[in-house]
A and B are shown apart, each in its own frame.
Chain A
């Protein structure tokens, strides 16, 4: 599992922790090692010095008790036995009387000397020696090979390096193992969250029943999700209730007005009934728009999602409104790159684009140019609806997407103030980044279609209608469409 994504594992907190622990352990191992090393070294050192010291004292005693000749004899005898200490005995003139140590040290007291190695030509051995001048004027040097101490040092450092390597290896392995387990738990939670965002409110984080912190966190998350689901269901239930409880009487009202319109021949009351009908329709429109926005915002309505031809959708909508704009004395041009696709709901996206275009048509003066563009930038579909009309002042730009928010200057034009709120809701549902900018002059609404589509490959035919679908493809593109724009 972790071989496929090593980088992710190295970035986890658990891996960093494992490394930190490894570093701490390695550090303590080094400190501990040093203490042991110094202790052992000191002890060996002390033994060595004590032996040399003892030997010197012994020889001095021999000299005092048995005289110079016996001393020489004793030293000569000792030199013969291998594995013993090494000696050098000189008379008052400095002439060698016994011993094999080179005459390198005339210095009294302790010193370390280099001695040519008999077994290993060209190499030297280090000896620790002590030189003392005895009462009769003889100079006695006793020394011992330091090789065992060096051997201890070498063995120790070797052991330390192996230990550190083992530590690092184990820590790395442990870190990867730990992180894999950790990631598996995190992934389970991420997956659930993604499913919830995707609209599946029934999804829950799986529990292991081990009551570890992850399980407790997951359980808390699940309790939160239960609560959210309950709230969402209540909301949807209330929406449905409102829909039923209000729509039905409003429908009746509308039907009665319609019936009255048919029955009534009097043209004066006809006008009044007509006006009442229109008011009823406005109430119903606002009401449905609010319900729709709420529903889209809940993010659970994705049954209509498919992989759709965005270029086709944009062309259809732009073409539909080009005539309307022309009628209002405005020019609508479209610059649409072909074969741009996106994962989404064709109905909702058409409505979003239509709302943006209608907004541009409604809130600008005659002679305004409106431009619709769609292209792919760095693999992301990017679209814009731009005009050179009066624009929206800076401080209002974020507020125009609120429900019922209308600029003062537009209070004269008809509209519910819900069009852009719906645009924002649809954009949010589709993972579209909406940016309102100054077109210098005018307004520019940019849409970046950044969401990653799910892996389904099915292409939903936007034209949809079997009656027309086949033939539509043979029709040349709309007059405004410029192929190959990037």
Chain B
């Protein structure tokens, strides 16, 4: 992926750049809003990571400008502003995701991946398949091989999200946001308990495990090697 980072804090920029290079992505960095607009409009990036508070032109304006000139790249706001309305403002301006500083790099990476592979809104896909796991989105049915899996509505959504992001790490926060629509950090293990229930239903004893925990990062659903 080609990723543009618009961030005035060098330390954060270096940290993100280093992480992205380590994960095999191409990353470019500019530290000012105006430069960011020029760079993003000209350079065909897959994703843009932008600080909300920038010297010169602020992040919101940059994103609004980019969207108005037709830049389609996924945009993630990265910001120290964790205000109640800040996320709404960020998304209204045309951002796709909003991540509050400080953040774990794994979180940013997972969100970038999720952004980049978002399919171009094809509603054609009505059955999701990973290995022998099948999810029928119309009939609301899950099957592992020939075995029917009884899922509660929220478990269905959780599995659907994992399957749509198959082979990609999804973080706990992403799951809270996308499956439950919770934009806060619960102090109890909501994701963990639901995940362990789902896991027990998806893989009975003897069946190969499909949902894996990635320590310090999140979960991934993938076909057994």
Give the interface of A toward B (CB within 8 A).
240, 243-244, 247-248, 250-255, 258-259, 261, 280, 284-285, 288, 291-292, 295-296, 301-304, 316, 319-321, 323-324, 326-327, 345-348, 350-351, 354, 358, 361-362, 414-415, 419, 462-465, 467-468, 471-472, 474-476, 478-479
Contacts and interface: CB of A to CB of B under 8 A. Distances in A.
Contacts of A479: 152
A244 B53 contact: yes
B102 A324 contact: no
Contacts of B80: 243-244, 247-248, 251
Contacts of A303: 85, 88-89
Nearest to B176: A320
A354 B186 contact: yes
A255 B182 CA distance: 25
Contacts of A361: 188
Interface of B: 9, 11-12, 15, 18, 53, 80-85, 87-89, 100-105, 137, 140, 152-154, 156-157, 160, 164, 178, 180-190, 193-194, 197, 216
Given A255-B102, A323-B193, 5 more contacts: A255-B105, A288-B82, A288-B100, A351-B183, A463-B181
Contacts of A358: 186-188
B193 A327 contact: yes
Main secondary structure of the interface of A (DSSP, over half): helix
Contacts of B100: 288
24 contacts: A243-B82, A247-B80, A248-B9, A251-B12, A251-B102, A255-B11, A284-B102, A301-B83, A304-B85, A304-B88, A323-B193, A324-B188, A347-B182, A347-B183, A347-B184, A350-B183, A354-B186, A358-B187, A467-B178, A468-B160, A471-B137, A471-B140, A475-B156, A478-B152
Nearest to B80: A247
Nearest to B138: A471
B153 to A, nearest CB: 4
Main secondary structure of the interface of B (DSSP, over half): loop
Nearest to B83: A295
B80 to A, nearest CB: 4
Contacts of B87: 347
Contacts of B82: 243, 247, 288, 291-292
A417 B71 CA distance: 44
B181 A316 contact: yes
A415 B187 contact: yes
Interface hub of A252, A358, A472 (most chain B Cβ within 10 A): A252
B138 to A, nearest CB: 8
Nearest to A347: B183
Given A258-B104, A323-B193, A350 B140 contact: no
A324 B189 contact: yes
Contacts of B187: 358, 362, 414-415, 419
B144 to A, nearest CB: 21
Nearest to A236: B83
A112 to B, nearest CB: 92
A465 B186 contact: no
A285 B193 CA distance: 22
Contacts of B164: 467
